[in-house]
Structure 1
Amino acid sequence: MDPGTHPAQPPPDDLPRLLLWRWRRNPLRRRSDLVQAWIALGLFLAVLAAVPAAMFLAGDAAYRHHLRTARHEAATRHSTTAVLVHDAPRHPEPGSEEARQTRYPVDVRYSDAQDRTRTGRADVLPGLPAGSTVSVWTGADGRLTDPPMNGDQIRSRTMGTALAAALAVPLVAAAVYRYAGRCLERRNLARWHADWARTAPRWDAYQ
């Protein structure tokens, strides 16, 4: 074969026959081939029915979970003002879009919900001088933490969970199909060995 050429591919008209060969009657088709074809069809239909259900159930459960988490965070986290202890690092490209999105961790001083003075590290805009004030959130333990989850975050995480559930369904179906195929193949080999054990003595008698 010429190195620049590729192996011949089946013509497009033959692809449906290759995909559906287990359904066609022919002398080489085994009973297990037909069983495997029915398994494939059943799993395909199951995936079509299960994907929407899995997305809804997983998404609904995730939404409820994240909503409870957001409410708990809103009830236990406290917004306060912090003062920078020292200057924040300057961005290499001041005024750029990247600079507006960049945050640097800087030591800050703040008061917790019990009005106790604390220090911690908060992410702030580049170039802020010492003494500047920034808004921070503290948890029930008085330490700095992220703000409570908002509606956009809840929706984003819910959609991520629903999408993961939708992708998991065909993966599980593919694993089941592969396992079933291996079981059928082992059964075919066992039957072949049994048939050969009965045929071999007669075959040797003709030699």
Structure 2
Amino acid sequence: MAGDIPRAQPPPAPGRHPHLLLWRWRRNPLRRRTDLLQAWIGLGLLLVVLVAAPAAMFSVGDWAYRHYRDTAEQQARTRQHVPAVLVHDAPRHPEPGSDEAKETRYPVEVRFTGPDGTPRTGKADVGPGLPADSTVLVWVDAQGAITEPPLTAGEIRSRTMGWAILAFLAVALAGAVAHGITGLALHRRNLAEWDAAWARTAPRWSRSP
């Protein structure tokens, strides 16, 4: 029937109307100067982040790669792979032959000869179940202490990517923080303007007839 009242509809979802997200750019009598200022600040910060984040990522990544590459080269020059003999039996794994047992390492005391020819002892991570007097290879630094092997190419890439990602996220976070701070400052300015406007208007509303 022509006189039927249309059924009520739910309000439109914001995602279906992109223009609602850009309301600060549209001319309307309710838009304040601070709204437009906040829109421009947000756009400016977005552009800065889009430019600065990749630049920081590549710059920090390049620095990290050169740093870890030089570190790996220095480690390769000053560390040696030497044979060592187990002083005690290595602990046995609860599940011998399992994939976990193949990856597990136990710290065991070993004897080895330092770079200066002096007999030394130290702790080395070895596979489970090795008996005493077994020979393993350990990395020793220039001072004769057991240490980690030099960085591999994979470790260099992994650490480089970690620093690059941290630099990217740091710039993005800085942009988000700056946007939040400016938004809070403009919001406080709006509240102050509302208070001032109400102080001028309230006497007219509360005046007795």
Maintained 8 Å contact 2:86/2:135: yes
Q: 1:68 aligns with which of 50, 67, 70?
A: 70
- Once residues 78 and 120 of structure 2 are traced to their aligned partners in structure 1, the CA distance between those partners, rounded to angstroms, is 18
Give the 3-state SS of the residue equivalent to 1:82 in structure 2. strand
| RMSD of equivalent CA atoms | 1.9
- Once residues 22 and 12 of structure 1 are traced to their aligned partners in structure 2, the CA distance between those partners, rounded to angstroms, is 16
- Once residues 99 and 16 of structure 2 are traced to their aligned partners in structure 1, the CA distance between those partners, rounded to angstroms, is 54
Give the 3-state SS of the residue equivalent to 1:131 in structure 2. coil
**Alignment correspondent of 1:10:** 13
**Alignment correspondent of 1:29:** 31
Q: Which amino acid aligns with 2:34?
A: S
- Once residues 187 and 93 of structure 2 are traced to their aligned partners in structure 1, the CA distance between those partners, rounded to angstroms, is 63
- Aligned counterparts, 1:14-93, within 5 A: 14=17, 16-93=18-95
Q: Which amino acid aligns with 2:186?
A: L
Give the 3-state SS of the residue equivalent to 1:173 in structure 2. helix
Q: Deviations over 1:42-64 (max 9, x none)?
A: 12222222222111101001011
Q: Deviations over 1:46-101 (max 9, x none)?
A: 22222221111010010111112112222222221110001111112222221111
**Alignment correspondent of 1:190:** 192
**Alignment correspondent of 2:142:** 140
**Alignment correspondent of 2:177:** 175
Q: What are the ranges of 5 or more consecutive residues in structure 1 without an aligned counterpart?
A: 1-6
Q: Residue 202 of structure 1: CA displacement?
A: 3.8
Question: How high is the TM-score relative to the length of structure 2?
Answer: 0.88
Q: Residue 162 of structure 1: CA displacement?
A: 0.9
Q: Which amino acid aligns with 1:165?
A: A
Q: Residue 188 of structure 1: CA displacement?
A: 1.3
Number of aligned positions between the proteins: 200
Maintained 8 Å contact 2:105/2:127: yes
**Alignment correspondent of 1:100:** 102
- Once residues 170 and 206 of structure 1 are traced to their aligned partners in structure 2, the CA distance between those partners, rounded to angstroms, is 56
Q: Greater Rg, structure 1 or structure 2?
A: 2
- Once residues 25 and 10 of structure 1 are traced to their aligned partners in structure 2, the CA distance between those partners, rounded to angstroms, is 22
**Alignment correspondent of 1:115:** 117
- Once residues 168 and 194 of structure 1 are traced to their aligned partners in structure 2, the CA distance between those partners, rounded to angstroms, is 39
